[in-house]
Amino acid sequence: MIDQTPPPPTPVPAETPPAASSATAPAPATETAVNPAAKPVKNRRASKRAGHPLVVAGSAIFTLLLMAILLGGGALWIGLKRYDAPGPLPQDTAIIIPGESGLMDIADLLVKRGVIDDKWVFVGAAVGTRSSGKLKAGEYEFAGRASIRQVLDTIVSGKVIEYNVTIPEGLTSDQIVQRLLEIEELSGAIRQVPREGSLMPDTYKVTRGTSREDVLRRMARTQDALLKEIWEKRDPSIPLKSPEELVILASIVEKETGVAQERPEVAAVFINRLNKKMKLQSDPTIIYGLVRGKGRLDRPITRADITTPTPFNTYTIPALPPGPIGNPGRASLEATANPAKSKALYFVADGSGGHAFAETLDQHNRNVARWRQIERDRKIDPSSQPAGISGNTGTTTDIN
């Protein structure tokens, strides 16, 4: 008989937990999981560091630096805008910056005179561009509405206002001194009138405050250099023995004509007379002998003036006077050093501002008669004309 009793169940062996592995083992439960209110050890340490006095101080310094950078950047931006902004000056204005003025002095002056309206932008710009030690004294012209940048550039450049001092040819040294004394932009006294003929008439550029003595020194240096150059290039056939004699004769040529193209011809007349041992017979030498360079003769030359001897009267002395009768210009010096090729011995005014030249006395007398007729036609009384302006200058007679 088959036993149908079911077999007893096969016992299932107890499941043995696998061995713990460091690679796969779950992380042990932390204190947080057990006690959520507990603080992690790591965060507690960070909090202690954050509260350290050095950390607090560093954070404060960083914040201050950041604020300073932001404020400084803003100030710089505003300063740059004001640096290039049009200034308050309504029109071009000349300002004198005195010598030995410091940066603050200059800034105060510019604000006071209305050239700029922000002293500290000017000062900051001068320091920032390293220009504070480059500011130069002098008289400057600032353009209307000039910006602080333009004002600063002008003062740093040293381009001060220049004035022209013009000394006409033929003035005596005394007249030149008087003219310089009348120029208000110049400064200082003149201790001594320079030697006659030692100054070169010309236009000289000066700045306000230039001394009058300095102008005279420049004129003398210019004359010395120019005279040396002209003397070296002279016609060797002229009967002049030294540069000083060249100046003497050139001063007479200068006084005889104001027509540029006539100077070589006038010089030739006097050179020809010297070669022939004739008296120069120049009216301006009569005048100089009477006034000695102190001005002009405000009356006509008389017959007595012509015949009265003075050291300079070339109607009575046989050759050149002892010194110049004025300060000749370059053109007269050059004309005298290289006169025209001419045989003329006489000249007289021709009524047009120039002169008529003649080789013989007969020709000359006809030219004189013609000039007298012009005077009559124009109703000019020669006796009413001061010497030197009647047009009757030059060698008009031949008195031996």
8 Å CB contact between 142 and 115: yes
**pTM for the full model?**
0.75
Kindly indicate the confidence band of residue 72, based on its pLDDT and cuts at 50, 70 and 90. Answer: low
Residue range 52-64, pLDDT digits in tens: 676 666 676 767 7
Judge contact between 335 and 263, C-beta under 8 A. yes
Backbone region of residue 248 per phi and psi (left: phi > 0; alpha: psi in -120 to 50; beta: other values): alpha
**Looking at residue 53, what is its pLDDT?**
72
Give residue 22's pLDDT.
42
First-to-last C-alpha distance (Å) of the chain = 200
Whether the per-residue pLDDT at 157 is higher than 80: the answer is: yes
Averaged confidence pLDDT in the chain: 85
- The answer to whether the beta carbons of residues 173 and 124 sit under 8 Å apart is no
The answer, yes or no, to whether residue 156 has pLDDT greater than 50, is yes
Q: Is the pLDDT of residue 27 over 50?
A: no
**16 pLDDT higher than 50:** no
Per-residue pLDDT band for 158 (boundaries 50, 70, 90) equals very high
Q: Pairing relation of β-strands 346-349 and 203-207? A: unpaired
> Is the model's pLDDT at 9 over the cut of 80?
no
| C-alpha separations of 11 from 7, 8, 27 in Å | 12, 9, 35
- Write the pLDDT tens digit of every residue in 225-238: 999 999 999 999 99
What are the backbone angles phi and psi of residue 247, rounded to the nearest 5°?
A: -65, -40
Between CA 108 and CA 122 the distance in angstroms is 10
DSSP 45-60: HHHHHHTSHHHHHHHH
Scanning the structure block, which residue is given the tokens 């630096």? Answer: 65
Q: Which is nearest to 169 in space by CA: 133, 208, 202? A: 202
* For residues 327-352, average pLDDT: 96
Checking if the pLDDT of 274 tops 90, the result is: yes
Element spanning 140, H or E: strand 138-142
What is the pLDDT at residue 61?
77
Interval 195-206: pLDDT, tens: 999 999 999 999
Per-residue pLDDT tens digits for 358-367: 999 999 999 9
Number of residues written out for the chain: 400
Higher pLDDT, 5 or 186: 186
C-beta of residue 141 within 8 angstroms of C-beta of residue 161 = yes
Coil, strand or helix at 341 = coil
**Cβ contact 97:116 at 8 Å:** no
Kindly tell me if the per-residue pLDDT of 120 is higher than 80: yes
What confidence tier does 49 reach under pLDDT thresholds 50, 70, 90?
A: low
Higher pLDDT, 354 or 33: 354
Contact 216, 185 (CB under 8 A): no
Q: Which two tokens stand for residue 268?
A: 């030739």
